[in-house]
Chain A
Amino acid sequence: MINALGAPQSVLVLGATSDIARATIERFAGAGRLQRVVLAGRSGAGLDAEVERVRSSGVPVVEASAFDARDRAGHERVIAGAFGGGDVDVVLISFGVLPDENQVRADPLAAADIVDVNYTAVVTTLLACANHLRAQGHGVIVVLSSASAVRGRASNAVYGSTKAGVDALACGIGDALCGTGVSVVVVRPGFVRTRMTAGLRPAPLAVDPQDVAEVIAKNLTGGSRTVWVPAAMAWVMRVLAVLPRPAFRRLSI
């Protein structure tokens, strides 16, 4: 159960090797209530290392679960497995890839693959988790959207479009779940300094995975909502969202 102060006892992470997922689990563990973590991700040394890391942080039960975003048919098995082991208080959907925009634009099938991973797989996992959580009568799904979901940009049209889909889905499902005890928290970070963004020039208002984790941890009890990291990013994007296109496209962002 998530207690009155928002500290969860059990978490399912889909995309367990992401830096934001790691920071979020660390933050949850810091509240001293975490009892069980299911780490779903591509099996391999990375996932094993993650299991070891969470275990050594004092979480009594840590399970690894082989999860492949492209294997749609296998999603339900992974999720049912996690729920079969007991209540899941928080599902963190944190998988995704940031493609080289020029490369995927040159190869439409590669772009479609990005859509499969970043969007279609979120559709199947989010809906499956929502069903399990409804039956449970409580729980939070945290979905990592992006500030880039708000407005399509020349520099990351494909990635942004997948996040726009994720964002719209998560907001809609979150509202649909109102009154079921289940909520969806949509997280819109700006530029996060992670392995995924390594080598890119950090944008203004760049944050660390720990900042995202902090915002997630503080927003588990307020019902379905959309949160920005950092909070100031909300205002930047609100302004950018209403900028006329001729002006917007001239910005080098």
Chain B
Amino acid sequence: MSAARATESNGAGTTDGRHPIAATREELTGWGRAAPTVAHVAAPSAADDVAGLVVESGSRGVIARGLGRSYGDAAQNAGGMVLRLGGLDRISPVDPITGLVTCGAGVSVDRLIREALPRGWFVPVTPGTRQVSLGGALAADVHGKNHHRDGSISAHVTSLTLVDGRGALRTLTPSEELFWAVPGGMGLTGVVVELTMRLIRAQSSRMQVDTTRTTSLDETMAVLEESDRTSRYTVAWVDCLARGPAMGRGVVTAGDHAPADAAGDATAPSLGRRGMPAPPWVPSGALNPHTVGVFNDAYYLMAPRTPRRSLESVGSFFHPLDVVPGWNRLYGARGFVQHQFAVEDPQCVRRVVSLLSRRRAPTLLCVLKRFGPAGRGPLSFPSSGWTLAVDLPVSDSLGSLLDAMDEVVLASGGRVYLAKDARLRPESLVQMYPRLDEWRFLRDELDPEHVFQSDLARRLHL
């Protein structure tokens, strides 16, 4: 489609027989449901349409949006254009020898697993939800429970095609420097329309999981380190409301794909069952130190006292966030913020958990994990050491708590994850990502006019 036609379609829709791509005004938020802004949203279903919309995007620019799972404002563009890419949904057959598969950027991890798993393949990296698009996953350079072994998703992408700031299609491979501006670039380097990645073999759709309950933060961290040596997938849930010697007690789960002979019942649902959705409305403050304390105690006590091995579905092991659809509504109308940081120094993790425990922060979900070596992307989040992710409901005092956490993280040379961020200081970003200028240099080559814009980019002066 020509650029001129795209302009016309902004208002009236196309008449060439394909889906019209009329832009509609829509209020958008991130998964945390805070800080809504309004953009012109279009849903192109072909790379040419994307290119046309990029060329005609106007002074407030354009950003791609996948499934809206970024917690903050990464996939919002106030007053500008937002492209929903669910229409780019093609999946090629998986190469039976190499495991390579080529997917449209709008393909979700969920769909890819459903296509690939019955044929003995699995995604090389999956975040805690399957409801992310591959384009979004690459833009945030997502990691999974196997980061200590396999790195983040960009390590498994062998080629990508994007629409750059001039509306031109470019295919990039990891041997090119420009490729590495994309993972972690939060969509500001162009609209990825297609990518090829290498799947891994999975003998079965079951996971062999070791669960260990720990009584203190030191033990949680020690068990996690030990599990990293034996298991491909590891993570710990941490009780941030526990106090005194129990502070940082948790549940460590470590797993591997179960071999075919150990997988047992092959008819069991591989992705687990979909649970009850969250109610459409929940009062703000329903999740407070008291209710969350009760939940955390119950979750902790339900975990086996002595280490236990069990078989789990892929869904229940990898994607706990998909059990309750719309769980982000549980935080009420004011929404919530997730703070996730990566740091080398284990003392930093101790200081933050102690801060959360002292301040009685109602964290339902607090996840600790070890990262392997950093990837090559200048803005890629994962870096060697530890990562802690905490969900916190928006309250009047949350700003100062998160700023205090930032200070602790900064003092240890750590960084926060932009896919989760909704409130970082721009000056902190510069300190946390020392390769920012390198990324800006590459971005300027892909998008010299800074056509790609988002609320996140405006807020952090990216």
Contacts and interface: CB of A to CB of B under 8 A. Distances in A.
Interface in B1-51: 25, 27, 32, 34-39
Given A136-B79, A218-B396, A1 B25 contact: no
Given A4-B337, A5-B337, A221-B334, A136 B34 contact: no
B395 to A, nearest CB: 9
A130 interface: no
Interface in B73-119: 73, 77-80
B425 interface: yes
A4 B39 CA distance: 17
Contacts of B79: 135-138, 181
B78 A1 contact: yes
B459 A1 contact: yes
B197 interface: no
A7 interface: yes
Nearest to B422: A4
A7 B396 CA distance: 11
B62 to A, nearest CB: 13
Contacts of B38: 137-138, 179-182
Nearest to A35: B426
Nearest to B39: A137
Nearest to B37: A138
Max chain B Cβ within 10 angstroms of own Cβ: one of A4, A31, A35, A135? A4
A219 B252 CA distance: 41
A179 B39 CA distance: 10
B34 A221 contact: yes
A90 B408 CA distance: 30
Interface residues of B, number: 33
Contacts of A9: 459
B28 to A, nearest CB: 9
A137 B25 CA distance: 9
Given A137-B37, A137-B39, A181-B27, A4 B335 contact: yes
A149 to B, nearest CB: 27
A137 B80 contact: yes
Interface string B179-193: 000000000000000
Nearest to B29: A4
Which label, helix, strand, loop or mixed, suits the secondary structure of the B interface? loop
Given A7-B399, A7-B423, A221-B334, A181 B34 contact: no
B27 A1 contact: no
Given A5-B398, A5-B399, A7-B423, A179 B78 contact: no
Interface in A2-55: 2-7, 9, 31-33, 35
B312 interface: no
Contacts of B73: 1, 4
Contacts of A167: none
A68 interface: no
Interface in A171-214: 179-182
A45 to B, nearest CB: 32
B37 A5 contact: no
A4 B334 CA distance: 9
A179 B35 contact: no
B431 to A, nearest CB: 15
B401 to A, nearest CB: 10
A5 B392 CA distance: 11
Q: Which residue, of B36, B60, B79, has the highest number of chain A Cβ atoms within 10 A?
A: B79
A7 B403 CA distance: 12
B274 interface: no
A131 to B, nearest CB: 12
B455 interface: yes
Contacts of A181: 27, 36-38, 78-79
Nearest to A218: B396
Contact of A1 (B35, B60, B425): B35
Interface in B407-462: 422-423, 425-426, 455, 458-459
Given A5-B422, A222-B333, 6 more contacts: A4-B394, A35-B426, A135-B60, A137-B60, A137-B79, A181-B37
Q: Which 6 A-B pairs have the closest CB atoms?
A: A137-B79, A181-B38, A137-B78, A4-B422, A4-B34, A138-B78
